[in-house]
Amino acid sequence: SKVRIYTLAKDLGVENAKMLELLDGLGVSYKSVSSTIEEETVELIKEMLAEEAAQEGGAAAPQTAATQAATPDAEQDAPTGTPAAAPAQADVSEVPHRAPVVTIMGHVDHGKTSLLDYIRKTKVAAKEAGGITQHVGAFEAQTSKGKIVFIDTPGHEAFTTIRARGANVADIAIIVIAADDSLMPQTREAIAHAQAANVPMLIAINKVDLPQADPDRVKTDLTQLNLVPEEYGGDLVVVPVSAKTGEGVEDLLEYISLTAELEDLRADPKGTFGGVIIEGKVDKQAGVLATVMVQEGTLHVSDFLVVGESYGKIKAMTDSNGNRIKEAGPSTPVQVLGFSEVPSSGEKVQSARNEHAAREIVAQRADERRDAENARVQRRLTLEEMMGPLGSVRTVNLILRADTQGSVEAIQGILARKESDDVKINVMLAGIGAPTEGDVLLASTAEATILCFSVTASGGVKKVAEGKGVDIKSFRIIYELIDEVDRLIKGNVEPVF
Ligand code: GDP
């Protein structure tokens, strides 16, 4: 009988990534780890693993073609029965795995907050005496598959604000779609944001407890965005859940862990510290409090932290359950007391050995900023900067906003025909209604132009766009909009002097 890839991996005690690699070697096609494979294939896999174990027991000789593309760690993860693989294969795999950081996005009222609440209620270890549970921007859920860190601010604004500062915090995005409402404008936005960040997506179809729930419609609608659920032969993981009854939440967590495993997330607790600000605030009693996500290395009380052009010494740290802690390793959100100024979410955090070193970093950054400012005034763009690397396919990134679905589709249809071998037109997001601040952030991270048809940006959004150097252009006639796209394409193809 057939068996799912991840089930087999589990049974054989092999990582999913390893299993996929073996299947690749056998030339067996699959869509994802939840695809099923034939019994004969299962036998072959077992043989290959046994052979590998025998070989590694010997001299860790190069293996079959199946593992040619293998990363060294995948080989070490195989259940070889031997204590350690050859030393030459050491490096990457010695860096330990870290927990995934997950963000939940989706349309308003589709249940993002409810889902986070359900997970927090059921999966967060009871706080210890003296701990005060409070919103710190992230929390750690304990699951049977290990720790999963959730960013506690639902919605794509937080996600993109962080990305707009050049940081990436989330490893996986959960897109919540209500089963009684299907795809809505903000669902499309959330998907565009996850895609722009190149973050793997899982779809949670929520509210399946409702009588009017129609998960099939959601799946069909997704297909129209070229996101094809596994059941329909694609590779999109879609999990039906109810934040109300808890149905499916366990499956969702399991899929998160599976995805994390495939992503092979690692960070070295002994490495140089690196982190990102999740949020900062002023507490009337305590002073400046900031939640830092530790991404690399370990943070200790009394370390000096540098954010932007300010620094501070950590006076105290608490974990997301409100417990005092002395140190925190990778994928741990910690609330830190000791910053002198309120840092903004998305700012990168470095550490310094002592105050002197912290000051030096700050001084150097101030210098660099001034130099960059001067340079910007003086410098002319080089040809390469204007055109992108020579000989490569260039991409025009666009965000499209129009008054009706009909216009959106009409414009997309025309744009598709403008593509050529040299220029790709990437419509990152096409939506109905005026452009939002979220669009501007998305555009600024991707250097996209926002094109509006029969809608205009509000004053506030225009201001943000100006501040970020994002172009918003509005048109009332489709062909004028298309002319503008032609100009963008030309600008990308040949230099205009
Ligand atoms: P958000 O805006 O995406 O954060 O959505 P909320 O979590 O605030 O949920 C919006 C509404 O939907 C609230 O009234 C919730 O009680 C309700 N809701 C959320 N999840 C479910 C669910 O799984 N089943 C049902 N029946 N209602 C839900």
* Ligand 1 centroid, distance to 451 Cα (angstroms): 33
Mutate to test the pocket of ligand 1, among 105, 109, 175, 249 (most ligand atoms within 8 A of CB): 109
pLDDT for 70 equals 42
pLDDT for 386 equals 52
* Ligand 1 centroid, distance to 69 Cα (angstroms): 44
Instruction: Write the pLDDT tens digit of every residue in 77-124.
Output: 444 444 444 444 445 567 899 999 999 999 999 999 999 999 988 888
Instruction: Write the pLDDT tens digit of every residue in 447-469.
Output: 899 999 999 999 999 999 999 88
* Ligand 1 atom closest to residue 116's alpha carbon, by position in its atom list: 7
Instruction: Report the share of the chain in percent with pLDDT over 70.
Output: 86
What amino acid occupies position 238? V
**Residue 370 clears pLDDT 80, i.e. is over it:** yes
Q: What ipTM was estimated for this complex?
A: 0.99
* Ligand 1 centroid, distance to 218 Cα (angstroms): 17
How many whole angstroms separate alpha carbon 341 and alpha carbon 331? 24
pLDDT band at 130 (very low <50, low <70, confident <90, very high): very low
* Ligand 1 atom closest to residue 117's alpha carbon, by position in its atom list: 7
pTM of the entire structure?
A: 0.69
Instruction: Write the pLDDT tens digit of every residue in 330-357.
Output: 999 999 999 888 888 888 999 988 999 9
Four-residue CA torsion sign, 136, 187, 225, 436 = negative
Report how far apart the first and last C-alpha atoms of the chain are (Å, whole number).
67
pLDDT for 61 equals 42
pLDDT for 71 equals 43
Q: 371 burial class (0-12, 13-18, 19+ CB within 10 angstroms)? A: exposed
Write out residues with Cβ below 6 Å of ligand 1: 106, 108-114, 154, 206-207, 209-210, 242-244
* Ligand 1 centroid, distance to 113 Cα (angstroms): 7
Lowest mean pLDDT among 101-105, 124-128, 425-429: 124-128
* Ligand 1 atom closest to residue 154's alpha carbon, by position in its atom list: 4
The alpha carbon torsion through 427, 431, 435, 438 (nearest 10 deg) reads -80
Nearest CA to ligand 1 atom 14: 109
